[in-house]
Structure 1
Amino acid sequence: MSVLTRLAPQPQRLIQRNLLRLTWLLSPLLVFLAWMLVADSGRYSEQLLVPPAFVWDAFKDVLHSGELLEHIRFSLSRLGMGFALGASAGLLFGVALALSKTVEVYCSPLFHTLRQIPSIALIPMFILAFGVEETFKVLIVTKAVFFPVALATCEGIKAIARSHFEVARLYRLPLRDVIVDVAFPAAAPSIVTGLRIGLSRGWMVLVAAELLAADSGLGQMIEMSRQMMRIDIVMVGVVVIGLFGFVLDYGFRLLEKHLFRWKAR
């Protein structure tokens, strides 16, 4: 009888758990409903507030024409290259900043000064230095990714108990083994968080760069549509950018949960 008592609430708990998982849909649905009601009220011109149905039609048009996929491909390729460069450099510099007193003394003040400068503020300087071609866009993403990754790597390694490094020194492990087998595994949660933040910042900065100086990409699609007063396509670009940003960030969150399942125990 006690077994049946324990099993009886299971379906109810399962339903509650599934409903809880669906609550993340509530806020997007409320925003969509408010958008639809305000657009249909007639208080604003359709050129200022496009109804959702018009945006959906514009989405189908740019999707079937291949224009949207082409802009997405350009934006993601720039993000991928910039993220790879920024994350690699950030990891290396973060390790050096955490383990080398010389690097910390000479580079730490400049590093902490430069990381306070918004990447968007450097876009005009990058354009003057590198022009408006692909190099500029990849490097501005690299800059946006580099600092969060380097800071997270440095702080993660510094938080490791000194006894870990003392044991490594006792066994006379080479520096490469100390970094790969001691530093990175112990600082992995902080590093992955830095990578996630860097990816999000890189995505936002890339869109801003494409808005200002690009002939392709989602940001450029928005800017060209604005100039042509195609606000429906502008809204398509905004929604697609938001969805891709959400997917990228959520993907890293899932990776964190998978890699560090032991933290939840």
Structure 2
Amino acid sequence: MANVVLERLSWLVSPLLVLAAWLLVAAAGWFPPQLLVPPAHVYQAFSELLGSGELREHLAVSLSRLAIGFTLGALGGLLFGTALALSRQVEAYCAPLFHTLRQIPSIALIPMFILLFGVEETFKILIVLKAAFFPVALATSEGVRGIPRSHFEVAEVFRLPLPSLLRDVAFPAAAPPIVTGLRIGLSRAWMVLVAAELLAADSGLGQMIEMSRQMMRIDVVMVGVVVAGLVGCVLDHGLRLLEKRLFRWKTR
């Protein structure tokens, strides 16, 4: 019983070690207090931001941008990846450009997107869409390509229409790599969104971090950094739980 409890709490070891190192370095005074704020000050800033509602407002704005951009990007990636795998014409005409564009870091496109769309919501949603689209499209394409040919031959025998072919054959058979692509796309989308808000935004978690940096409120900066990491971890963990629930048969 004790071993089981220790195993379940093992994930706490590395965060506690980081916290202990943070406390020791801050107490030793190796860095100026303006640069390395003690954990107690960060917690106090977190409580103040939470009590005033400022943190919730910024986080809600960021998550709404993420939800819209990721949903559009994931749906587009799912459809395009399927077409890329099933259609020779789409592969011939679109694959070279697709594989070229997916190599461009999303952050590198931020200046161009700002020039084209300004600093309003369109720019942020599009940069999230781009970050989500390519991992989902690539994973979907590879997953559909990996489906045994016999599946499609049976579908041809029963003359399944395209919607039924996708819903009942292609997507279920390619589900594991598709979910992996969704996890990667969601993580990238969240990181790119925070970076975009750091550079050009009037609200959102990244904007809160940048404004705090300009005001030398390093405690608030640390709050934003920690919250960004925790949100990303929760999002990824949620998709991992969904993956385990959907594919329980793989562990049997």
> Structure 1-normalised TM-score?
0.94
1:21 CA displacement: 1.6
In 2, distance between residues paired with 1:92 and 1:147?
11
Bigger Cα Rg: 1
Aligned residue type for 2:43: W
Residue 35 (structure 2) pairs with residue 48 (structure 1): yes
1:100 to 2:77 alignment: no
Alignment of 1:59-78 (within 5 A): 59-78=46-65
Q: Which residue of 1 aligns with 2:161?
A: 174
Partner of residue 204, structure 2: 217
Separation of aligned partners in 2, 1:18 and 1:102: 56
User: Which string of whole-angstrom CA distances, capped at 9 and with x for unpartnered residues, describes residues 98-139 of structure 1?
Assistant: 110000000000000000000000000100110000000000
Runs (5+) with no aligned partner, structure 2: none
SS in structure 2 at match of 1:132? coil
1:202-241 correspondence to structure 2 within 5 Å = 202-241=189-228
Q: Does 1:84 align with 2:71?
A: yes
Residue 173 of structure 1 aligns to a residue whose secondary structure is coil
Residues 169-193 of structure 1: CA deviation (Å, up to 9, x unaligned): 1111111111110000000111111
1:59 is displaced (CA, Å) by 0.5
Question: What is the aligned counterpart of 2:97 among 90, 104, 110?
Answer: 110
User: Which residue of structure 1 lines up, in the alignment, with residue 118 of structure 2?
Assistant: 131
Whole-angstrom CA distance in 2 between matches of 1:206 and 1:212? 10
| Alpha-carbon shift at residue 15 of structure 1 (Å) | 2.6
* Deviations, residues 50-76 of structure 1 (Å, cap 9, x unaligned): 000000111111111111000001000
The answer for the alignment partner of 1:247 in structure 2 is 234
Residue type of the alignment partner of 1:243? L
Looking at structure 2, the residues matched to 209 and 58 of structure 1 have their Cα atoms a distance apart, in angstroms, of: 24
Q: CA RMSD in A?
A: 0.6
* Alignment partners' CA distance in 2, 1:170 and 1:109: 33
Deviation above 6 Å: which 4+ runs of structure 1? none
Q: How many corresponding residue pairs?
A: 252
Q: Which residue does the alignment assign to 1:58? A: 45
Unaligned runs of 5+ in 1: 1-13
State the 1:17 CA deviation. 2.2
User: Counterparts of 1:236 and 1:173 in 2: how far apart (Å)?
Assistant: 53
Deviation, 1:18, is 2.3
Q: Which of 144, 148, 156 in structure 1 is aligned with 2:135?
A: 148
